[in-house]
Structure 1
Amino acid sequence: MAVNTVTASTAWTDPHCPVARAADLVGDRWSLLVVRDAMDGARSFTEFQHRTGIARNILTDRLRKLIAHGVFTQVEAPSGKRKLYELTDSGKDLFPVIVTLRQWGERHAFKPGEEHSVLVDDSGSPVPGFMPMAVDGTPLTSETTRVEYAG
């Protein structure tokens, strides 16, 4: 279920644009890296901090924000001594976003031949490139789509 939480402290960059709202919620570097690491198995504050190198105060802030907006939930650790963080269905829905950013980075953020990590499926094969498709299977681009405004 999508969370549409608007608080007095939420100032939407563009209140009518889904891209702007998504960027307001998860568009900063640290939030996306925390989500990425959760998708790769990180669950504890310490794991997120170790994997990202993020400062404790910034990590605390990002986790609070992601919980408040329904991207993460906190659960009791089996030891009962601390809390763990789990992606909600809303958080898991960010998987295509993370994959698309990764694939853009593979194409545009590395020099030819420069080593980088690769996302693979269960068989070990690289994940194929994402391309939005029309209902009839035709690839979509910015030239073949438009935004329609309600009202």
Structure 2
Amino acid sequence: MQRKTLVHDECPIARSLERVGEWWSILIMRDALQGLRRFEEFSRSLDIAPNMLTRRLNSLVEAGLLERQPYSQRPLRYQYVPTARGEDFRVVLMAFVAWGNRHYAPEGESVQIVERATGRPVRPMMADLVDGRPVPLEQCTVQAGPRASDGIRQRMQTLQALETEREA
């Protein structure tokens, strides 16, 4: 049975999950953004079967998150380097760290998000695009964008009505 594809779905979450929704892909991106580059490094870090690692690396290259670059000509060997799109995935991983620490680390944080220069703990947050002021996450919501279809607009209106009803 063929798996449904979400590539053409209008929802940005669905489209993103099509590219990185498989958990090995997220762990490979975690390692790539922490500096791992070579097949053997990913294999050792993740203890993943070689055929699965090959498939996941190829899919991340195809999705534009990693770039395959040769590092040896004889024999020809490649390293995998995050692209600008891949670097942008860092914020998703940071959100995962914060969420996981908050909800699934009763023994305490094994990994923290810190400012590189000071080592002081930080948390992911939203910022106003116009003036840069921080906006608490609980004050944020989603709405239909300028290119939304009628279906998305209807869905957003329904969700906003439910949100308003719950707040009342």
Q: Does 1:61 align with 2:55?
A: yes
Q: Cα offset for 1:144? A: 3.8
TM-score normalised by structure 2 residue count: 0.73
Question: Deviation per CA, 1:22-43, whole angstroms, max 9, x where unpaired?
Answer: 0111122110110010111100
Give the equivalent residue in structure 2 for 1:146.
142
TM-score normalised by structure 1 residue count: 0.81
Structure 1 stretches of at least 4 aligned residues deviating more than 4 Å after TM superposition: none
- From 64, 78, 86, the equivalent of 1:70 is 64
Give the equivalent residue in structure 2 for 1:120.
114
* CA distance in 1: counterparts of 2:140 and 2:89, whole angstroms: 24
CA distance change for structure 1 residues 80 and 100 in 2, over 3 Å: closer, same or farther? farther
Show the 5 A alignment for 1:38-57. Answer: 38-57=32-51
Q: Cα offset for 1:10? A: 7.8
The answer to whether the 8 Å contact 1:134/1:140 transfers is: no
- Bigger share in strand: 2
Question: Deviation per CA, 1:89-140, whole angstroms, max 9, x where unpaired?
Answer: 11011011111111111111111x4351234333351441011233463324
The answer to whether the 8 Å contact 2:8/2:15 transfers is: yes
* CA distance in 1: counterparts of 2:4 and 2:56, whole angstroms: 14
Structure 2: segments with no counterpart, 5+ residues:
150-168
Question: Deviation per CA, 1:50-70, whole angstroms, max 9, x where unpaired?
Answer: 111111111111111111111
Larger Rg: 2
CA distance change for structure 1 residues 117 and 145 in 2, over 3 Å: closer, same or farther? closer
The answer to whether the 8 Å contact 1:72/1:88 transfers is: yes
- Bigger share in helix: 2
* CA distance in 2: counterparts of 1:92 and 1:34, whole angstroms: 13
Considering only aligned residues, what root-mean-square deviation do their CA atoms show, in Å?
A: 2.4
Structure 1: segments with no counterpart, 5+ residues:
1-8
Size of the alignment, in residue pairs? Answer: 141
